Amino acid sequence: MNAAFADRPADMEALRRLADCRPALVSVEAAGTALGLPENVLLHAGPAFADPAAVPAPVLNAACLAAMISGLADNPEYARASILSGEIALRPAQDHGVVTPLAFVVGFQTPLQCIRDLGGGGAVAFAPVNDGNLHPVRTGLGTDAAFQELRWMTVAVADRIDAALSRPIELAGFARAGLEGGDDLHGRTPAATAAFVAEMRARLPLGIGDAVGRFLDESAGLFLNLWMGATKCLMTAGAGVPGSGLVTAAAGNGVDVGIQVSGLPGRWFTVQASPPRGALAEGMEERALPAIGDSAVVEALGFGAMSLHLSPAQAAAFAPFLPKDAAARPAALAAGHHPAFDGLGVPLGITAARVAAYGAGPLVGLGILDREGTAGRIGGGIYEMSVVPFVAALAALEGGG
């Protein structure tokens, strides 16, 4: 980073607000109720698509399932035709305060975990319940098994989690436990998940052989969606500061990757996406979908692939795909901290000014999906965010928007 660089006062104010945020899970409710979402609107990861015809197959598969769960279609064929015609509209989830993983699509009936700032700042964000590992919709498979699993989760899992929330569950403590236990809070979350599930089991009436209990115990990534929502809540706490380039949204939709910044809420700055660099299933080298998922918010705050010094397993897995300066980027790109993570060496809050000055963007650990939508997840690796959106956002801030 340029030795003469000084953080912008507006960025420091946004980071101060972020540091005061205490994200907590407070309820689970359907997207139509939580957001006032119209019945014919579906929410996807990343920036908007230029045209329904541009929607990648994995997202279209997940959108069809969301449409069917929401009662907009009786079968995948009708759902697909309605989406491609625009009768069912696709919108960026983060424009509604929602973060959704990989290709997962949120519909009117999708249960959302509401994460609210208990620090008094008023920030709120939402994330769907993690859909487990048996038939994960987030991988872009539009199978009947995925539909049945999603329908079960929409009622059984969501209702039981909500029943445990007579009092909020603050999330930063579980995240810290995860980091201290070797998680990176993105690709690896078993320690944080175990701590969270222990809390849930203390609150939930779960009998022997209970299906929801099994789901909680067998979903090692359960905490990821919660932490995505918490990350978005933290970012939202720092949003709306005039002149600030604090990153408040970051995501890919399988076609483009984009960011938003505090001083220009709701405005995406995008660049064409490419697939992450990573290990792929044999024979799938030409089928890797470009970067997708709202989970990039985790790294855009400073966790995930930006905190690999705390996760030896993730560091080893990603080692072949990391740039030589990977260890230097966290301190170079992030300007703040959060008291819940003091002492862990995790700088938080990436700004457009710092990325532009350093000349390289955040590193994001991402799952890699089959672009044809038939094989699901085919690998995982590192996506290096381009400086282009950050430079464009900074220019827009300096030009008055």
Question: What average pLDDT does the segment 41-69 reach?
Answer: 97
Query: pLDDT digit string (tens) for 196-230?
Result: 999 998 998 766 558 888 888 888 899 999 999 99
Distance, in Å, from the CA atom of 9 to the CA atom of 15, rounded to the nearest integer, reads 10
What is this structure's pTM? 0.96
End-to-end Cα separation, the chain, in angstroms: 25
**Rounded Cα–Cα distance for residues 329 and 345 (Å):** 13
Average pLDDT for 362-391: 97
Residue 380 and residue 364: Cα distance in Å, rounded? Answer: 11
Q: Which residues contact 176 (CB under 8 A, 6 or more apart)?
A: 340, 341, 344
Distance CA 222, CA 244 (A): 33
What is the identity of the amino acid at 212? Answer: V
- Give the pLDDT score at 388: 98
Residues comprising the chain, all counted: 401
Confidence of residue 3 (pLDDT cuts 50, 70, 90): very low
Per-residue pLDDT for 78 more than 90? Answer: yes
The residues facing 256 across adjacent strands are 272
pLDDT of residue 5: 64
Q: Return mean pLDDT, the chain.
A: 94
CA–CA separation, 54 and 362 (whole Å) = 26
Q: Say yes or no: domain 22-231 is CATH 3.90.1710.10.
A: yes
pLDDT reading at 282 higher than 70? yes
Report the share of the chain in percent with pLDDT over 90.
87
Residue 386 has pLDDT above 90, yes or no: yes
- Find, among 218, 192, 139, 170, the residue nearest to 304 by Cα: 192
Classify domain 9-17+239-398 at the CATH superfamily level: v583 domain like (3.90.1700.10)
DSSP structure string for 86-120: TSSEEEEGGGGTB---TT--B-TT-EEEEEEETTS
- Tokens 């992030």, residue? 334
Tokens 């400086």, located at residue: 387
- pLDDT, residue 208, reads 53
Among the residue ranges 43-47, 75-79, 163-167, 368-372, the one predicted with the least confidence is 163-167
- Predicted pLDDT of residue 57: 98
Domain boundaries along the sequence of the chain:
9-17+239-398, 22-231
The model's pLDDT over 15-26, given as tens digits with 9 standing for 90+, comes to 999 999 999 999
Residue that is written with structure tokens 């078993």 in the block:
190
pLDDT tens sequence across 225-247: 999 999 999 999 999 999 999 99
Q: What is the pLDDT of residue 209?
A: 59
Cα–Cα separations (whole angstroms), residue 46 to 40, 185, 226:
19, 20, 18
For the stretch 104-159, pLDDT in tens is: 999 999 999 999 999 999 999 999 999 888 889 999 999 999 999 888 888 888 88
Residues 243, 397: contact at Cβ < 8 Å?
yes
The confidence score (pLDDT) of residue 207 equals 62
In contact, 226 and 113? CB cutoff 8 Å: yes
- pLDDT > 70: what percent of the chain? 97
H or E stretch covering 16: helix 9-19
Residue (of 390, 188, 132) closest to 304 by Cα position: 188
* pLDDT range class, residue 4, cuts 50, 70, 90: very low
- The pLDDT score that the predictor gives to residue 2 is 45
- The region of weakest confidence among 80-89, 127-136, 249-258, 272-281 is 127-136
